[in-house]
Structure 1
Amino acid sequence: QMADQLQRDRSLPVPLQVLPLHSLVPIEDQDRCMQPARQGHCKVVLSTNIAESSVTIPDADYALDTGLRRGIFLAPRSGKPALLSRWISQASAKQRAGRTGRVRPGTCLHLYSKRFHDNLLDHDETE
């Protein structure tokens, strides 16, 4: 949904090339995330935590960190495994910040406060 909204937004000064990056995206489509943006476009990669450590996007200037991750956890009410959103850990926040600046200067924008960050767990809970 977010990719579609961004793709249709004509109020931006430059057209976007929006690319999803998650485990269900075929490898050939994941590889497009590593290629330069189309001429005259700004590339936006919408990624899950797959990009925290296993991927380098060479032309990433910015990373936007929502502070959330999706995974299989026990549902609070049923006690059964379910795909749920959870807050990331400080270690994951550091990994996400490291997605830019690997091969050229870059910036990570965390969409939460430093105070909130300081109250996150040190490391992610296991799935």
Structure 2
Amino acid sequence: MIGQVSDSELELMKIIWNEGGKALYARIMDALEETGNHWQKNTVITLLSRLVEKGLLKTNKIGRRNEYMAIVTEADYQAAQTKTLLDKLYEGDAKGLVSTLIQREMLTSMDYEDLKKFWEGGGGIDERDT
């Protein structure tokens, strides 16, 4: 089972996923800087260590540098968290979730058309927004 992570841990996972599933510590720090996050070295190391403990990352030593590799894909993490949300808020009722998305206008007409095509087997879902 894939557990939940904090928002800060998720931010680090997204960096690693965006780097093709693995990233050197220095690249992670650069990516944080690029997004305006000026986290301290100890904070980042602590968060990465927690992700290793939670089984989402593993480390590989390359000389004196650490490379962090995702054990869990972004798609698998999203699926696990969606299932948790569905079970927790909707008692496993996917129709309830979709109904909320439609009623609260969180699903655009374009999203609906893409899903309809997918459901009817006419092609994949357009991933421009995901």
Q: Shorter-chain TM-score category?
A: under 0.3
Question: Which is strand-richer, 1 or 2?
Answer: 1
Asked which structure has the greater CA Rg, the reply is: 2
Question: Which is helix-richer, 1 or 2?
Answer: 2
TM-score, with length taken from structure 2 = 0.23
